[in-house]
Each structure stands twice: as structure tokens, then as C-alpha cells.
Structure 1
Amino acid sequence: MMDGRSASSLSFGYVRSPDQDGARPAAHQIIIVGGGLVGLTMAIDLASKGVKAVVLEKSNTLSEGSRSICQAKRTLEVWDRLGVGDIMLKRGVEWRKGKVFSDDHLLYTFDLQPEGGHKMPAFVNLQQYWVEQYLLERLLELGGEVRWCHEARSIRQSDDGVCIEVATPDGPYNLDCEWLIACDGARSDIRRHLGLTFDGRVFKDKFLITDVKMKGEFPNERWFWFDPSFHSGQTALLHRQADDIWRIDLQLGWEANAEEEKKLENVKRRIKAMLGDDAKFEIEWISVYVFQCRTLSDYVHGRVIFAGDSAHQVSPFGARGGNAGVQDADNLGWKMKLVLDGEASCSLLDTYSRERVYAARENILHSTRATDFITPKSKASRILRDQALSLAAKYPFAQKLVNSGRLSEPAHLIDTPLNTPDNDVFACHIAPGSPAEDAPLSKNGKEDWFLQELKGEFTVVAYEPNGLNLPTRLDIGGIPIAVKTIAKGAALDDVSGALRRRYDMKPGTAYLFRPDQHVAARWRKWSGTGVEECVERAAGRRI
């Protein structure tokens, strides 16, 4: 394991690749541009499926500053499938509750996970440099490759691949690949090379975001203030992270001078106003942000595919940026594997764009509403916001009007051609297109979790299948399918009943899950023909 004590400042030396000495450009199936949390997650997912991708990273370090800190439940479940969920839990700060204040008075509290029976908590706060370190270690365990100080300078596409010019300290060289996945962030060079532009808004406001190291007495909760006495007329946010680091966000206003606000003496003055003159703390990281809510209209451009901030950007309120990027990778990995293996046509990748653009627009909608509420742009909107805050102190119904950031949730991909519509009636919110929900299970008498049985492949889960002797695996047109039987007294047993309740499982019920753990179809009665048709559709063969 790398030296965790210096995770935020780890650097990696440039290493010359044998590809630089070839007479012709070396050819790879996949090249990922960008070695941040999305690019590393993408590379791990592909490696877990037997696909080696080369990651090109133009810098030589992990993320600077904590940056994305709120790792959501669904993201943690993706990482758990990839083998890094437990270490994220061990290192990070778990939380599910929050408080919202107006002035210095508590308006209300909220609980993001009031029901138990889930392996992963609602959120874990963990600095991005820790996340990237653990992802990098896992990728190297799987035999992956990251080329530090290798910058994709230009690209040239053909019908069957991409040629990339790569700049290095030793000079440029060329690489060929079948597919290029651009995970190179908000200032994406690949997006610029293709001349692509975002749709959306840039908000005329600025926020000071700083990491403070201190011994705080605050609980592991998200605290948000409207118009606090220590920062009059603006908003403030406080989060605990690992290693006694605290994230503090302070609204500045559009007219604020970013360079002045980032000066150490000015930051300390604001922090002392919040914590008190006698507070002891150290400043770890400072940044001033202008929030943006924007997306590309299409994430697939020929042989170039965009994911993460290179494809979409949202304001930090709601923790929808990094979490959405990880879920991009989760959606793309299995589809890319089927295409590379010749089990699906390239049109399956178009569903990646369709599904993840939908998710991005949903995130942008929530993020835009939060930003408009937090930073009203007219006298009328400010009056409405202040009235909502006033009512929320007394009336629970008004608390739903207060928006300090609707926190990240996975998209329910209801409108996708990969779903098979229901023919039966179910009394639960988990439907075709929904992400799977976890539940405790017993496996051979030992504690297990439902999502751990969905191991990144197509899986049929049959509940009390009425004496049918089902196989443990199927092969449908070259696509392997795992079959899990859950029954009383069987190897897999829903002893708590949580799975039955959450999925409205009656005896004979079966669900088909995609490799990214989204529901593709469900039935009240097992049918081999029905399973085959639904797998064919979920794999894009019936688009």
C-alpha cells in the first residue's frame, strides 16, 4: 500500500513506455484519458471484466485538495462491487443526518437513511485524494496501467478507431485505440479537440470552499445555514471529513474578488467569525468556485465517449458531480465489454449516452433548483425564499419548500429501450430501470448482502420458485447469466424478510438485473423464453 499519510501530496515519476519506441503506433482496445476518480473507476470496472485499458494522466499527482468529498450510497455500492467499498468505509466519515438553520436558529433536521438493512450508509465523507489512492491501488492489483505525465494533445478519428498524439517529457508519440473514453474533467482537452460545447447555465455567484484541520465538537452531520450571524446575508455549509479535516463552504456573492478572498488572512478572518476568535485550526486547502449546471447533449461521438465532468457539470450542493461520474462508468463498463466481445452492436453504446444524459439532466434540474433557492437572483425570489424559511420553523409542510441541496440519488432509468415493461402487477417502487436496493441475506448460515450476489454480470434472482429446479447459470446467445435462488432454508435465505418487502416478492417472482445492478425485467412466474427475450433486449439486441 502507498504511504497513506501523504495521500494528498503523492507524486508519481514519469516512466517511458515501450510504446514510445515502436516503429508504428501501438494499438490498444481502450485508452482512458484522465486518471481521476472517474477514469480510475472506469479502468477498474473494465479490468474486472478482463479488459485492460491504458490510462493517460497529464499530471503526476493525485487530486489537489479534498474536492469531491461526499461519496453517496450508490457510488459506494459500485466501489464495493469493484473491491474497494470496505476500505472507503473504514477511512471515511459515515453520516446520514443533517440540520438546516435560518439565522442561528435550527429549522429542522433530516435523516437520509431512516430504514436499516443496507450494507452501505447514506453517505461517507472522504477526500478525493484518498478515494483516488484506493482506486489506484486496486487498479494496480488488477494489472492496470496509468501513464503519468502523458498528455493527450490531439486526436484523429476513423471509422474503426482513434489515433492519439501524446506529449511526454521525452517528446510526443502516437497511440491507436478502438475506443477512447474521455474522463479528463471539466476543462476536458478531448472535448475541446472535438469542438463540443455544453448546454446549461453558469450561475452569477461565487463560493469560498476551504478545508480546515481542527478538533471540532460538531457531530457527523451536514449543517447548512441561511443568513447566519457569522456570515450575514449569505449561506454556509459545514461537513466533517477524515483526519479531522472539515469542509466549510461560504457564499461570497458575484462581486467578490476571488484572489482577495483566497488570501490566507481573509480566509482565517471568515473562519474565526464562524468558529470563534479562540478557535485553533489550520487551513489545508482554499478554492473559489463559480457554479455551473451544464451537459453535453450526447456523450458518444464516433469512437470517443465522455464520462464524468468532461460530459457534465453541476454545482456541489447535493454532491451530484463525482457521484454521477462514477455511475457513468458503472453504466458504460458492461456495455463496452459486450461490444468488444462482439456480443452487442455499437448501438448499445448509444444507450449509455441516452441513459446518462437523462441522469445528468435530472441532476442539473435538482442542482439548478437548489442553487436558485440558495442564491435568489431577484427581490421577489428572495421574498419567497425568506417566507419559506420563516414557515419551515413552525410547519413541517414548509420544510419541503426549503432547498439547501437535494442530495445525490441514482437515476431511475425508466425510459430506456433496454427495459422490458411489466406484464404483472407489483406493489413497490423498484421497477424496470431502477437501481437495485440492498437487503440482508443469510448465505450458508452466514451474514450476506443482496448486492454482493449481483457481481457485475446479468443475474436472474428467483424467489421461492415453487419447486422448480433452476440452473445456477445460463448462456443466452453467448451472454453468461447467473441464476440465484432465494428460498426459506436454502443456501440463500431472506431471513429478515427485507428483500421480500422491498421487491414485493411473492413465491415464483423473478427479477433480471443488468451488470450495473439496474432492474431490466421482472415476472411473477419463471419463464425460460421470457428470460431469453428480456436478456436479448437488455443487451441491446432488440433495439
Structure 2
Amino acid sequence: MHVLPRYPYRRPPELDGRPQDPRPAVVIGGGLTGLSLALDLARRGVPVLVLDDDDTVGVRGLASRGMCWAQRTLDIFERLGVAGRITAKGVAWNVARVLARDQPVTSYTLQDQPDLRHNGFANLQQYYVEQYLVEALQAEPLAEVRWLNKVEHMASHQGGVRLTVGTPDGPYELDAQWAVACDGASSPSRAALGLAPVVHDRTEDRWIIIDITVPGCDWAQERWTWLDASANGGRAVWRHKMADDTWRLDFQLREDEDAVAAATPEAMCRRVHALFGDDLVFEIAWSGVWAYRHECLADLRAGRVLFAGDAAHLVAPFGARGGNGGVQDADNLAWKLALVLNHGADEALLDTYSTERKQGAFENIRQARRSSRFVHPQGQAAARLWREAIISMAPQLPWAARCINTGRLSAPCRYTDSPLLAGDAGAGAALPDVRLGGTSLHHLLGPWFTLLVFADRLPRALASVQHPLLAVVLVSPACDRQARAALLRQLGVGADSGECWLVRPDQHVATRQAHLQPALVPALLAAALAPLPTDPPPAPAHDLHATTA
């Protein structure tokens, strides 16, 4: 069984009275979101310090936690240089099956996308992903990770943030120009600043994760969902394969079930054997009980402190939206913070991080809420009737099968509410990483903004376009016949169409123009680098009865 790495504690120089300049960026929390953000910042030339109160990766041992990595997240990890290790170690899947009362009701195959660098989903325990991120950070001269350094107090002021950090050798104080709190759902950083998230709903629906290791198991590498499984007392079960012959099992608990009793080894073994038979030989790698709620901070920025991942928003895990959403937070924030720190961008740029990622959070909440209602209608009579009708019709009617909602899988948010976009068709969407012969579309992009010109030669009008943060790239020369067909299928654009797409550093499309006039380019870049402050988007109608935690 895998053994988690332990990282050494090193005495901070502040404890010995050595003067230190304010750190440009301090990331609080060395989990998935914090490590992704720190690696991105370091790659963008920002000295970054990560403070983590533990000395290893993962949470509470070999907890699988986030384990289903979406295509968009894999694209981000590709840019950060760790996707190859994740896909090599992880388990690829694209078939899902749903059973109700032990009978098959539907199955579906995720669209095969050979045109794209990363096809579908990869399952890998979160502690592996975090370990790969730590190892990548260790190779970055601008990055430092301090283990067993717990932020005990925080005070935000106009010029930055003062942190009090506890260590095995005692506390010390640290100044930062900017701090990013990635310290989880209970976020001590939020509490230190007197902030509380807006709670959009809670549920009594509880589940127990039982990760089991079954060497040589011949189960198909598919996602299985049992609705109303007789082996689980008429409640739901999920099954996913992960690395190391390990299978993630999620069993829905009875509303009156004692969680402590359910988590005993004897009770867990009975539950697994009831589903798969007494002959199954397995070892429990990890277990944990979880419940869920939907919440989000009113603003993801509080002065010089920003919030990301579970510290910013919580969403039910239906559709693998938690960890993937946190990585996409980091992806959105890193380039903006780097431009503010190193390239003179206006601080208002960071307000758009809150605008855009709150839109992503609300989209995840909406989708997860629909899935949770289908899996667990609770006392909602109309939802239960709808569910029963759909399940009864799904084996015969394709349209009903498409309504089976056990977790719509995570997809990238299109930032339609963003002030950084031109508002044209396609603006705000994530650019797919289309394969182009020996390379891919994302590999053509520069580190900051990129003007993709779908042509084989640069139009004379664009030859004079220059900006230190802009790369102008011709797409057609990188394309063979297959790549040209792939661009048409995936983007609806020809390699020689003459279209010009301005792509942001996070690979989202800022604008798509049939024939871009050179004079527009500086204006579009200026809008992205120094936006005017904007009011946050209105909350969706179903969030009007939200409360503060």
C-alpha cells in the first residue's frame, strides 16, 4: 500500500530575528488548490511562499478525496507540467452505467475525442496529485513550502497582510503584499477576518467512502451507480476505479444511521460483501463519512486577501466539481495576481477573479443541486415522482435515459458575466487543446496573452501589433490535413479562415473576430489589464433564500 511522503520542517529565519522583506505572495494551505496556485505563480515569475500546518499531502491518511480529474483540469495540469504523471498513474474511463433496484436502466459512453490532447476523465487519488505538485514546486527557485507552519492570526491592512505563524519552535510574524487563503472548508483565515460564507442549502444526506484494494480484480474500468441498491438497504452506491488496484466506493447512509457505527471495520466489510458477495477478498485503504452543503463567500477578495477552493465555496461532489473547481480557481487567479505584482496591472483586475469564479461556483452549485435531488429526493414529492417516472421509462426511451442525473460531469465555466470580455460569440469559453500533428493548440500559446491568427501568413495590418504581454501566433503552419479537420470539428473554424482569437493566459477566449483590426488589440489588452471595478453579478433566483453560516 502506498506510503505518504513526509516533508521536513525547517526553522524559519524570522525566528532568529533576521529581517525579511514583505513576501509578494503567501499561499495559506498546501492542498490541491494552494499547490496549483503556488506552482503557477512561480512559473509566472512571482516569488511565492506556501504555509501548511501539516508535513505531508492528502488529508487523514490515504484519503482519495478528489479523484476524478476533468479534461479542463488536465489541460491546466498540462500547462503546469504534471499532467503526464497524472494520466500515466491514473485510470482512464469513459463508460458509465446506472442501475436502479439492481436492474440496469441506462449506460452511456463519454464522447470519444481523439482530436483533443486529453480525452475524458482520469481517476487518481488526490494525494498523488498533490505529491506531484509538491515535487514540481521543489524544482522552482521562486517557490518555498514551509511545512508545520500554521497561520494562527491574520490582519489585513492597506499595504498588505500581517500573519502570525505557529511552528514547533514557536510563533513568528510575516508580512505579505498579498495572501491567498486555500485553507479548506472551515478556513481559519475567513474566521480571522470575520467573514462567513453565504449558505445556499444544507442536506441531511450522508455518505460513507470505503476505498478498497482488490489486487487482480477484473471489474470493468467504468463508473457504476446503483440507485436504490438492495445491498445498501435501498440507497445509492457509486463505484470508481483508481490507481494501485484501489476502488472508490460511496455508500449512501440511512438518515437515522449512526455514522460512527457505520465506520467500524466490521460494518464496512458487511456493506462491501453485501454488494459484491462474501467471496470478495479486499483490504480497506481508507474510509470517511461525508455530508454536503452549498455555500459561497459574497466576495472572494477581502482587501489584500483572496480566497480559493473550499475556503471560497463548497459544492456537493456530484459530477466531480470540488477539486476541479479549486484548480480552476487557481488557474484564474494566478495570471491576474502575477500581472498586478510584476507588470503594473491595476488591482481592480483581481476583482474580476471574484466575478468570474463566483459564476463558476454558482454553475457548479446549480448542477450539483439537480443531481442531488435526483439521487436523494428527500421529502420532495414532485422530485420523487419525476425520478420514478424517468427510471421506469429509461430502458426503452433514449430521451428518458438522458434525464438520468446521477452527476453531470464537471465542465469548464464560460465567463459570460466577465467585464474582461468583448461579448462576442465564443468569448469566455475555455479553448480546447486540439491536437495539431506533433503539437497541440495550447502548446502554441504564449505565457500571457496570445493572438491566434488562423492563417498561413500574418496579414500586413497585424504585422505592426506588438505588446510585451502579447504573442502573435499563426495556426495554419502547425496543421496537417488531420489537424485542419480537427479544428473544424472542435472549434468550427478553418486553419486558413483569417479569424483572429485573443486568448487569455488561462486559455479562455477573450474575443473572437472574423478579421481583427490592429487598433482594437491595444484596447482589448488594456481592458484586460486595467478594468473598471464592477458590481458582482446578481445571485441566481434559487439562491435568494440563502443564509449566512
Whether TM exceeds 0.5 here: the answer is: yes
Hey, what does 2:22 align to over in structure 1? 27
Task: Give the aligned partner of residue 111 of structure 1.
Answer: 109
* Distance (Å, rounded) in 2 between the aligned partners of 1:264 and 1:469: 71
| Distance change >3 Å, CA 542–CA 290, structure 1 → 2 | closer
Q: Which amino acid aligns with 2:389?
A: Q
Deviation at 1:113, TM superposition (A): 2.6
Q: How does 1:253-268 map to 2 (within 5 A)?
A: 253-268=254-269
Question: Quick one: structure 1 residues 350 and 278, their matched pair in 2 at CA, closer, same or farther if it must change by over 3 Å?
Answer: same
Contact 1:441 1:494 (C-alpha < 8 Å) held by counterparts: no
1:251-400 mapped onto 2 (5 Å cutoff): 251-378=252-379, 380=381, 381-400=383-402
**Paired residue secondary structure (1:278):** coil
| Partners of 2:462 and 2:517 within 8 A in 1 | no
Please tell me whether the aligned partners of residues 97 and 112 of structure 1 are also in contact (alpha carbons under 8 angstroms).
yes
Deviates more, 1:66-75 or 1:505-514: 505-514
Residue type of the partner of 2:420? L
State the SS of the aligned residue for 1:286: strand
Alignment partner, residue 160 of structure 1: 159
**For 1:136 and 1:503, how far apart are their aligned partners in 2?**
35
- Report the AA paired with residue 224 of structure 1: T
Q: Which residue of 2 aligns with 1:94?
A: 92
Change (3 A) 1:385 1:146: same
Matched-pair contact (CA < 8 Å) for 2:113–2:120: no
| Contact preservation (8 Å) 1:432, 1:519 | yes
- What's the TM-score once normalised by structure 2's chain length? 0.92
- Using the alignment, how far apart are the partners of 1:384 and 1:542 within structure 2? 46
Kindly provide the CA deviation profile for residues 246-270 of structure 1, in whole angstroms up to 9, marking residues without a partner as x: 0000000222111111101000000
1:153-174 C-alpha deviation (Å, 9 max, x unpaired): 0011110100000001101000
Q: Measured at CA, do residues 437 and 80 of structure 1 come closer, stay the same or move farther in structure 2, by a change above 3 Å?
A: same
Q: Which amino acid aligns with 1:481?
A: L
Identity %: 38
Shift of 1:540: 3.4
Match of 2:145 in 1: 146
Q: Which runs of 5+ in 2 are unaligned?
A: 534-549
C-alpha distance in 1 between matches for 2:176 and 2:255: 44
Candidates 15, 33, 41, aligned match of 1:38 = 33
The answer to whether the Cα contact below 8 Å between 2:430 and 2:507 also exists between their aligned partners in 1 is: yes
SS at match of 1:516: coil
The one-character-per-residue Cα deviations of 1:185-230 (angstroms, maximum 9, x if unpaired) are: 1121101112222222221111011110003222211110111231
Mapped pair 1:49 → 2:44: yes
Cα 1:190/1:469, change in 2 over 3 Å: same
Whether the 8 Å CA contact 1:25–1:174 is kept in 2: the answer is no
For residues 346-375 of structure 1, give each alpha carbon's deviation from its aligned partner in whole angstroms, at most 9, with x where no partner exists: 110000000001100110111111112111
For the residues of structure 1 that align with 2:486 and 2:423, how far apart are their CA atoms?
24
2:473 is matched with which residue? Answer: 484
Whole-angstrom CA distance in 2 between matches of 1:140 and 1:160: 29
Mapped partners of 1:405, 1:89: distance in 2? 22
Q: 2:449 aligns with which of 453, 458, 467?
A: 458
Q: Secondary structure at the match of 1:242?
A: coil
CA distance in 1, matches of 2:458, 2:189: 55
- The 5-angstrom pairing of residues 122-271 of structure 1 reads 122-143=120-141, 144-199=143-198, 200-214=200-214, 215-271=216-272
Q: Which runs of 4+ in 1 moved over 6 A?
A: 470-473
Q: Offset at 1:232?
A: 3.0
- Classify the secondary structure of the residue corresponding to 2:519: helix
1:101–1:108: 8 Å Cα contact kept in structure 2? yes
Note the alpha carbon deviations across 1:419-475, whole angstroms, 9 max, x for none.
0122xxx6xxxx000000121213xxxx11112222431001101266625879954
Q: 5 Å matches for 1:469-480? A: 475-476=466-467, 479-480=468-469
Do 2:462 and 2:518's aligned partners in 1 also have CA atoms closer than 8 Å? no
Which residue in the other structure is 1:59 paired with?
A: 54
Could you give the per-residue CA deviations for residues 305-361 of structure 1, whole angstroms, max 9, x where no partner exists?
Answer: 000011111111110000000000000001001111243111100000000011001
CA contact (8 A) 2:99 2:226 kept: yes
Q: Give the alignment's Cα RMSD to 1 decimal.
A: 1.8
Is 1:465–1:526's contact at 8 Å kept on the other side of the alignment? no
For 1:97 and 1:470, the matched residues in 2 are separated by 48
**Range moving further from structure 2, 359-368 or 16-25:** 16-25
Instruction: Name which of 407, 412, 415 aligns with 1:413.
Output: 415
Are the equivalent residues in 2 in contact too, given 1:220–1:239 (CA < 8 A)? Answer: yes
The answer for unaligned runs of 5 or more in structure 1 is none
Classify the secondary structure of the residue corresponding to 2:285: strand
Letter in 2 for 1:97: V
